[in-house]
Amino acid sequence: MSLDKLKDWVGRTQATEDLAAPFPVRALAATFDADDPEPRSGDPLPPLWHWLYFLDAAPQSKIGADGHAERGDFLPPVPLPRRMWAGSRFSFDGEPVRVGDAIGRTSEIKSVEPKSGSTGSMVFVTVKHTISGPRGVSFVEEHDIVYREAAKPGEQPKAPRPAPTDATWTRTIVPDPVLLFRFSALTFNGHRIHYDHPYVTGTEGYPGLIVHGPLLGMLQIELARRANADKIPRSFEFRALSPVFSGPAFSVQARRETDGSVTTWIADPKGGLAQQGKATFR
């Protein structure tokens, strides 16, 4: 399909409604080993925990070879086989969504852009999500998806640059298959790169199961917000730089800056910079 045809998807919208039920909050807190009190109606939903809702429940007959829903409905049918979460940006300007709220999400395709890199052709799709609750618009998210060519024989991931070593706060995470499975289950994510070892190594050419980009993003903002519990998040952004694979422990790190913001990053098991981000507070 030509790029001009793919650009026909720009401007498409989709509206979804859900209920911010308490169980997913309790289950994610358990997955994060967070000693949080039992969630109750009226408790504010932490930043990014809306990913527990608005889940895409495509019929089994409409699932593609990679475990995602077939393309061409809301998302454009990009003719490249590998799909990854490239990054997200959030602006928390309204009242937070609360447990028990009836919530809504309006999504819009903002852009479809081709690029080329060391591994070949890519297409970036940016989707804008506006999340609302009973008190109006809560926040806006922009989500970047990257589609890539199939792996070439013998292709190896490019070594990332070294991660910073001056963190103010650090947390160590062991990304075993159970952690990946629980997060996939909580977000109803059927993408096979997170649980199907023969598929991710044989078909997509990666050396192991891949840790979800949004899981890494949530761990980054969790570290930053829990270290600044007396403040309210104003914005957060993160960008994926290199995959993290199931197996040895990686670290979630954050640094307090002089302007009050917090720089966050993921250091892979060898100390490489896998993901970076920034949070601001008010």
**Whole-number pLDDT of residue 120:** 83
Write the pLDDT tens digit of every residue in 70-106.
888 899 999 999 999 999 999 999 999 999 999 999 9
Long-range contacts, stretch 182-185, CB < 8 angstroms, 24+ apart: 182/27, 182/31, 183/31, 183/212, 183/215, 184/212
Q: In this model, does residue 66 exceed pLDDT 70?
A: yes
Residue 105, classed as helix, strand or coil, is strand
Q: What is the arithmetic mean of pLDDT over 227-232?
A: 95
**Whole-number pLDDT of residue 72:** 81
Residue 191, classed as helix, strand or coil, is coil
Q: In this model, does residue 143 exceed pLDDT 80?
A: yes
N residues, the chain: 282
**Whole-number pLDDT of residue 103:** 98
Write the pLDDT tens digit of every residue in 112-140.
999 887 778 899 999 999 999 999 999 99
Average pLDDT, the chain: 95
Q: In this model, does residue 153 exceed pLDDT 90?
A: no
**Whole-number pLDDT of residue 1:** 59
Residues 6 or more apart whose CB falls under 8 angstroms from that of 268 comprise: 160, 163, 242, 244, 250, 274
Structural domains for the chain:
3-281 (3.10.129.10)
Burial of 56 (C-beta count, 10 Å sphere; 0-12/13-18/19+): middle
Neighbours of 62 (CB within 10 A): 10
